[in-house]
Every structure is written in C-alpha cells, then in structure tokens.
Chain A
Amino acid sequence: MTDAWSFFLFAAFVDNMPLTLFLGLCTFLALSRRTESAIGLGIAMTGVLGVTVPLNHLIYQGLLAPGTWAWAGQPDLDLSYLSLIAFIGVIAATVQLLEMLLDRFFPAIHAAFGVFLPLLTVQCAILAGSLFMVERNYTLGQSTIFGLGSGVGFAVAVVMLSAIRTRLAYADLPAGLRGLGIAFILTGLMSLGFASFAQMAAAP
C-alpha cells in the first residue's frame, strides 16, 4: 500500500510531465490562460492517461513484446516496432469513446470540455505515458498507478500555472515578454520548485 502511494507521488511530482520531462507543453501553455479551462484539461488528462496506459500495457505484453507469439510457433517474432502505431490507435479510440460516452450520459460535462477532448489524441504527454511504460518495464498495477499519477501531476501543474497567469494580466511587463515569453519563464520557475521534489526523492 505504501509502495503504491509513494509510486503515485513519484509519478505525480518527481516525474512531472510538463515541468521536468517537457511533455504536453503545447496544450499546457495554450490552455493555461483561464483557470476553468485548466481544470477541465487536468481532469481529461487524468482520465485518458489512467485508461490508456494500462490498456496499452495489456496490448504490448499480449501481442507485441518479443516472444509473445511463441505458442503459435513463432518464438523469434518481435513486433515491438509496431507499438507506436498500436498505441496511437488505442489513444485515438479511447478519446473518441470517452467523448461519445460523455456526450450520451453527461452532456453538461461534455459541453464543458468542448474542444479539448479530441485534441488529447495528439497530446505528447499521453503517448509518452505509454512509451515510458514500455521503456521502464512496468507491471499492470504499476502502469495504472503511473497513468493516474502523471495525470494528477499534470492537472496540478496546469492549474497552478493558470492561477499565476490570471494574476499576471495586471502586471506591467516589458512588451516583448508579454504572453508567451513570461509563460516560459514562469514555467521555468515552477520547474525549479518541482526539481526540489526530485532532491527529496533522492534523499533517503
């Protein structure tokens, strides 16, 4: 139990997707102007990551990993180079399914998400969740926790950035720094803060 919890914290804070791994920055910066859209994005990310990472784990271990076709007389068959196409297909299908389910059963939530849901198909952080799962050899349980944890980490980071940026609307910035420039520098400062989590994890 404590192991699972500390792994969850590791995925959410130490390996924070946007701030330490630079993943999903496009949507991270584009949707952090308003707090409401940031919260919506955070929830959607957690949901999609929590579903796709374990699902891709099953597909990879069951169909693509080297040696899985041994029972069919093909022990040397290695399909792992197909994983990219398989993962992106699963992600696109999951996002589509999630959108249809929300539209059918929770139209209010669906309306609140608006355009973000389909955009998540091409979110680097979501594909990266599955790729890291393969690279680091997570088990099914670990990949579920990893998916949920990194989604929550993304949500925390994007809501924090949006809170700071709403305040910044009233700041008198140099003209060239307005908007994108200051958003980068803010992200850098937040990333410095999150780097201290890595230090805490490294210390016993």
Chain B
Amino acid sequence: MTARTAFWTTLTDPLIRQNPVTLQILGICSALAVTTSLATALTMSVSLTVVLTLAAGVISLIRRHIPDTIRLIVQIVIVASLVIVIDQILQAYFAQISRALSVYVGLITTNCLVLGRTEAYARYHPPLPSMVDAFGNGLGYSLVLIIIGAIRELFGRGQLFGHQVLPLADAGGWFTPLSLMLLAPSAFFLLGGLVWAVRSVRPEQVEAPEFAPPPRPEAAE
C-alpha cells in the first residue's frame, strides 16, 4: 500500500507542486517556441514525454556501469539516439507538424528537463521509479505547454486544433484576433502570469526577497 502511494506521489508531484517549468526553470526553451497552436504544443509534449520516460528507463538500467567522469556524454548520446527515432517517426507520419516544429524536436536532446531528471533522479534509482518520475515530469511539462498553447491559439486566431471556435469579425462574427498572441512576447507574458498564478495558490513556492528595506523609524518606536 505504501509503495503504491509513493508511486502516486512521484507521479503527481511534478504536476503543480514541483512543476519542472514553473518552479525549477527546466525545459523552457522549447516550451515557448512551439506553443503558437495547440496541435504543435501537443505533439511536442508527447515527444518529450516519450523521450524522457525511455531515457530515464535506459539510463537507470545501466546506471551502475556508467563511469562518473563521462556520464554526461553517455547520457547525451542515449537521449540523442531516442530523439533521432522520434524525429524520423514525426517526419514519416506527421510531415506537416514536423515542419512546423522545425529544429525544436532536435533540441529535445539539449532540453534541460531531460538531462535534469536523468542527472537528479534516474542515476540513483531503479528503472521503474525512474520511469514513473520521468513520466510525471513529462506530464507537468505537457500541462504548461497545453495551457499556453490553448490560450495563444484561442485568442490569436479564435481557433482550437484548427477549428474556428470564436467567429471572426472578418467572417461576420464578433471576434477580432489579437495578433500579439502569436508573437514571441506574449509567450513570456503568459508564462510569467502562470508562474504568478501558481505561486498565489501555493505561497510556499514564493522566492525570498533579495533585499529588504530597513524598518521605518516610526515603526521601531
């Protein structure tokens, strides 16, 4: 029973409480670039979760055989091979999405999230818990990507998954698309807002201030 709860916590912790993107600043690079539409965000989330889970499993299996000094290179080669497989699959079956994702699928190799989890968790734990942890982190990453992707596509084009949800003003409806939502800055604003929202709900994540003003003289009395 306790083993099962431990698994459950490992899986659900990274969703909000230990979210890799909003709390640990891992894997943001790709998180923002591919979120202009929900379809690309979803493809990216699935690709990353698959790579992360498999990489954690493989690395954890051979964790006792990797010499410490060259472990980074070994890990990168394992991750890169998995990414090549995913990239080839995407090019073969989802050519259009693969073009939209451009170099960002290849960049999963250097995604800090993948190396962060294999370095911090898979190196010390047996395969099954490592894969559960990796899967949970992949889900946490996907959650952020899907939220931002949905907001940007909905307000930038009035669409979800390419279907018109809000009727456009050009076509006789009432919605005027906010083209800012499709540009780079909006992704930063949305993610900043998301971080703010999560930390308002969970105040224990708030960072300590770097500088506190001295107490006012009248307050000291």
**Interface, chain A (partner B; CB < 8 A):** 19-26, 29-30, 81-82, 84-85, 88, 92, 118, 121-128, 131-132, 135, 169-170, 172, 174-185, 187-189, 191-192, 195
- Give the chain A neighbours of B203 by CB distance below 8 A: 175-176
Contact B112 A92 (CB under 8 A): no
Contact B196 A174 (CB under 8 A): yes
The 8 Å CB contact of B110, one of A124, A176, A188, A192, is A124
Contact A192 B185 (CB under 8 A): yes
Measured in the bound complex, the distance between the Cα atoms of B151 and A92 in whole Å is 38
- Give the chain B neighbours of A183 by CB distance below 8 A: 192
CB distance from B21 to the nearest CB of A (A): 10
Most buried by A among B109, B188, B213: B188
6 smallest A-B Cβ distances: which pairs? A188-B188, A184-B192, A179-B207, A176-B199, A185-B192, A131-B103
Task: Report if A25-B28 is in contact (Cβ < 8 Å); known contacts: A122-B110, A189-B185, A191-B185.
Answer: yes
Task: Report if A85-B80 is in contact (Cβ < 8 Å); known contacts: A20-B184, A177-B196.
Answer: yes
Contact B199 A84 (CB under 8 A): no
Most buried by A among B77, B106, B110: B110
CB distance from B94 to the nearest CB of A (A): 17
The 8 Å CB contact of B84, one of A81, A124, A169, is A81
CB distance from A44 to the nearest CB of B (A): 16
- Main SS of chain B's interface residues? helix
Q: Which residue of B lies closest to A193 (CB)?
A: B185
CB distance from A41 to the nearest CB of B (A): 15
In the complex, given contacts A84-B83, A88-B76, A88-B109, what are 10 additional A-B residue pairs having Cβ atoms less than 8 angstroms apart? Answer: A25-B32, A26-B25, A122-B115, A124-B29, A125-B29, A174-B196, A176-B200, A177-B192, A191-B188, A195-B183
Task: Report if A121-B76 is in contact (Cβ < 8 Å); known contacts: A22-B184, A29-B28, A178-B207.
Answer: yes
- Give the chain A neighbours of B197 by CB distance below 8 A: 176
Contact B106 A127 (CB under 8 A): yes
Number of B residues contacting the other chain (C-beta, 8 Å)?
52
B206 within 8 A of A: yes
- 28 interchain pairs (CB within 8 A)? A22-B184, A22-B187, A25-B28, A25-B29, A84-B87, A85-B84, A88-B76, A92-B72, A121-B76, A122-B112, A123-B110, A124-B107, A124-B112, A127-B106, A127-B107, A127-B109, A131-B103, A131-B106, A135-B103, A172-B213, A176-B198, A176-B200, A177-B192, A178-B207, A185-B189, A188-B187, A191-B184, A191-B185
CB distance from B164 to the nearest CB of A (A): 27
Residue-by-residue, is B178-221 near A (CB-CB < 8 Å gives 1, otherwise 0)? 00000111111101110111111001001101110100000000
Q: Which residue of A lies closest to B102 (CB)?
A: A135
Contact B107 A131 (CB under 8 A): yes
CB distance from A198 to the nearest CB of B (A): 9
Measured in the bound complex, the distance between the Cα atoms of B23 and A179 in whole Å is 11
Measured in the bound complex, the distance between the Cα atoms of B103 and A123 in whole Å is 14
